[in-house]
Amino acid sequence: MTVAQRITQLMLLAGGVVLPTLAEAAAFFLVPDRTLTPGQRLGLQQAALALAEGRAAPAQFCVRAAEICGEHGEPAASLLYAKLTNELSPQPGMPSLLSDPTLTCEMRLVSDYPAVWLLPALARSGLAHCFLADEISYVADLGGFARVLDALIAAGVAMPGHTLWVDYHSPRTSEALRKGVDAAIFVDARRLRRDLALWRLMPLPA
């Protein structure tokens, strides 16, 4: 069963949808062969949140992430900064999905990554043409996650009834629905393609 097309805008969160979450990326680059403890994972998530909301700078995040992962010292933090700048890659399948010519809607990106890491990743993956740099919204500039949707709606960027918010974090998708913004929980590119087809934003997969 499909629904009538009324969605004209796809709004995606960068971390956890287009890119891995910042916490996941940091762990992968710092300790790729090690399983972190629940406390370490929580610590990385909190450090990533502080960066996303503008309460920490990128270099500070790298130092904190290295400490959380047990990789103390400036070399580890510098290595993480360099890898996030030069090696950060999109989620599997997302470049081909978002570049699909049958996807018939405006696309906007809301980033919890700083521009210094986001823009090179988009350029390397071929996604820069999907999200123009001057049209990307940053969580830090919008007052943090608690104010993101209100700020986007007030600015006329997000349009209740016409915007589909895509996020991996279910409490934020629930909040979007409460504000009248349709939402989809991201699991992977394959399931997002199916969801977009059900919203009649692209053809159903064969």
Q: Which of 36, 56, 86 is the last residue of a domain?
A: 86
Give yes or no: residues 54 and 107 share one domain.
no
Establish if 204 belongs to a structural domain: no
Our count of domains for the chain comes to 2
Residues 39 and 115 in one domain: no
Which residues span the domain enclosing 171?
9-20+90-198
Single residue among 50, 67, 86 that ends a domain in this structure: 86
- Assigned token pair, 196: 């977009």
Same domain, 143 and 177: yes
Give helix 74-86 / helix 58-68 axis angle, nearest 10°. Answer: 120
The CATH number assigned to the domain holding 182 equals 3.40.50.1000
Pairing label, strands 106-111, 137-138? parallel
Tell me: do 28 and 13 sit in the same domain.
Answer: no
Residue 131 sits in the same domain as residue 37 = no
The pLDDT value recorded for residue 171 is 95
Cβ(115)–Cβ(128) under 8 Å?
no
Q: Per residue in 52-107, pLDDT tens?
A: 999 999 999 999 999 999 998 899 999 999 999 999 999 999 999 999 999 989 99
Say whether both 159 and 142 belong to one domain. Answer: yes
pLDDT band at 5 (very low <50, low <70, confident <90, very high): low
Residue 152, classified by CB atoms within 10 Å of its CB into exposed (0-12), middle (13-18) or buried (19+), is: buried
Task: Give pLDDT, residue 91.
Answer: 97
Do 95 and 190 reside in the same domain of the chain? yes
Co-location of 28 and 42 in the same domain? yes
Percent of the chain with pLDDT over 90: 91
* Mean pLDDT calculated for residue range 8-29: 97
Average pLDDT over residues 152-176: 95
Query: Taking 90 as the threshold, does the pLDDT of residue 4 lie above it?
Result: no
Work out the angle at residue 32's Cα, subtended by the Cα atoms of residues 27 and 33, and round it to the nearest 5 degrees. 130
Average pLDDT, the chain: 94
Domain contains 1: no
Query: Are 72 and 53 found together in one domain?
Result: yes
Tell me if residue 56 falls in helix, strand or coil.
coil
